[in-house]
Amino acid sequence: MNITFYGAAQQVTGSMHLLTLNSGYKVLIDCGLDYENRNDFEKNNRNFPFLPNEIDLLILTHSHIDHSGNIPNLISQGYNGQIICSEPTVELTTNLLLDSLNVQLIETRKHKGKKNKFKRVNTKSDAKALYQKVHINQTSDAMVALAFNKPFIVNDELTIELFEAGHILGAASVKLTIHENGETKVLGFTGDLGNYNSKLVKDPTPMPGLDYLVTESTYGGRLHTPHNDAEALLLEYINATCVKYGGKLVIPAFSVGRTQSIIFTLKQLSIKGLLPETIKIYTDSPLAIKTTRLYDKYKKYLNEEAQLFTKEHGDLFNFPNLYVIENSKDSELISLTPEPAVIVSAAGMVEGGRIQEHIRNHISDAYSTILIAGFCAEGTFGHELLMGKPMVFINYKPKQVYAKIARTDVFSAHPDQDGLMKFLNDCNYKSLKKIFLVHGDLNSMQKFKDKIDLESVVLPAYEDSFTL
Ligand SMILES: [Zn+2]
116 CA distance to ligand 1 middle (Å): 28
193 CA distance to ligand 1 middle (Å): 8
246 CA distance to ligand 1 middle (Å): 35
**Pairwise CA distance, residues 300 & 139, whole Å:** 25
CA atoms within 13 A on the CB side of 445: 22
Residues of the chain with CATH 3.40.50.10890: 230-407
Secondary structure letter of residue 219 according to DSSP:
B
pLDDT at position 162, please? Answer: 98
64 CA distance to ligand 1 middle (Å): 5
Give DSSP secondary structure letters for 386-431: HTT-SEEEETTEEEE--SEEEE--TT-SS-BHHHHHHHHHHTTGGG
**Pairwise CA distance, residues 209 & 175, whole Å:** 9
49 CA distance to ligand 1 middle (Å): 23
240 CA distance to ligand 1 middle (Å): 31
**Pairwise CA distance, residues 355 & 282, whole Å:** 12
pLDDT at position 123, please? Answer: 45
3-state secondary structure of 124: coil
Element housing 92 (H / E): helix 87-111
Give DSSP secondary structure letters for 132-183: -HHHHHHHHHHEEEE-BT--EE-SSSEEEEEEE--SSTT-EEEEEEEEETTE
Alpha carbon of 4 to those of 19, 77, 82, 178: distances in Å?
7, 20, 20, 16
463 CA distance to ligand 1 middle (Å): 22
167 CA distance to ligand 1 middle (Å): 7
pLDDT at position 125, please? Answer: 43
- Burial class of residue 320 (count of CB atoms within 10 Å of its CB; 0-12, 13-18, 19+): exposed
CATH code 3.40.50.150 for 2-222+413-467:
no
- Burial class of residue 72 (count of CB atoms within 10 Å of its CB; 0-12, 13-18, 19+): buried
62 CA distance to ligand 1 middle (Å): 7
414 CA distance to ligand 1 middle (Å): 8
* 8 Å CB contact between 248 and 357: no
443 CA distance to ligand 1 middle (Å): 20
Residues of the chain with CATH 3.60.15.10: 2-222+413-467
Q: Which of 359, 354, 366 is nearest to 245 (CA)?
A: 366
**Pairwise CA distance, residues 190 & 218, whole Å:** 12
Strands 183-189, 212-216: pairing is: parallel
168 CA distance to ligand 1 middle (Å): 7
Strands 404-407, 369-372: pairing is: parallel
Q: Report CA torsion sign: 392, 394, 396, 398.
A: negative
pLDDT at position 396, please? Answer: 79
From the candidate CATH numbers 3.40.50.10890, 3.40.50.300, 3.30.70.980, 3.40.50.1220, the one assigned to the domain spanning 230-407: 3.40.50.10890
Secondary structure letter of residue 216 according to DSSP:
E
Q: Provide the β-strand partners of residue 284.
A: 345
pLDDT at position 349, please? Answer: 84
59 CA distance to ligand 1 middle (Å): 15
pLDDT tens per residue across all 468 residues of the chain: 999 999 999 988 899 999 999 999 999 999 999 987 767 888 899 999 999 999 999 999 999 999 999 999 999 999 999 999 999 999 999 999 999 998 888 777 766 654 455 554 444 444 589 999 999 999 999 999 999 999 999 999 999 999 999 999 999 999 999 999 999 999 999 999 999 999 899 999 999 999 999 999 999 999 987 767 999 999 999 999 999 999 999 999 989 999 999 999 999 999 999 999 999 999 999 999 999 999 999 999 999 999 999 999 988 999 999 999 999 999 999 999 999 999 999 988 888 789 999 999 999 999 999 999 987 877 788 989 999 999 998 877 899 999 999 999 899 899 999 999 999 999 999 999 999 999 998 999 999 999 999 999 999 999 999 999
181 CA distance to ligand 1 middle (Å): 35
204 Cβ contact list (under 8 Å, min separation 6): 164, 165, 166, 167, 173, 190, 193, 194, 196, 415, 423, 426
pLDDT at position 381, please? Answer: 87
